[in-house]
Amino acid sequence: MAHGGVVVAAGHSLAGFDEAKSGIDAGIRYATHIFNGMPAMHHREPALTGAVLADERVVIGLINDGIHVHPALVKLLWQLLWDGRLNLVSDAIAALGKEPGTYRLGERTVTVTGETCRLSDGTLAGSILSLDKAVRNLISFTGCSLSQALRTITATPAMVLGIENTKGQIAPGFDADLVLLSTDLFVEMVIVDGSPVYRAS
């Protein structure tokens, strides 16, 4: 069912194509983590995935670590959604930034190996992706420009949240919440309300 602009699954069942279309018509405007936890899209049954991709009213969230979604599919998504419909997300858990190894996080044990974080059965346990890495990946996977990539984590999510008049761009009257990147697109400084709160060591 639709609730607050998101899809709520009942039990373990997810909406099919027709149900998803009804939800979109009722006001759903955002799809979380495209392809992940969704039924496979088939040419005769587009499923939930096909419904949200085909409808221009829906913004799509993508975990762009190259693991949750293959880089070739990321490129296809970009070709379809480049004009303001793609939102890069990290889905990062508390293992982000940790050295490779095994950690107890809450009630679960996770193993960090370079680019992934997995449960003991091999299932992905969220991600260890930072947003600056997601931006670098998008440029690498698709050949898009820096300004296009930055839009997916600034103006687009601001629009989804309805705060595009105060956040999402650098302009007079907008909040002075900024992230300064190095020339190779790593975070150098974070500024909140005009004051630095983080500097890279």
Cα separation, 167 vs 175, whole angstroms: 6
In terms of Cβ atoms closer than 10 Å to its own Cβ (0-12, 13-18, 19+), residue 185 is: middle
Q: How far is CA 38 from CA 33, 46, 126, in A?
A: 9, 11, 15
Residues assigned a catalytic role: 91
**Residue that has been written with the tokens 């880089």 in this structure:** 71
Cα separation, 91 vs 126, whole angstroms: 6
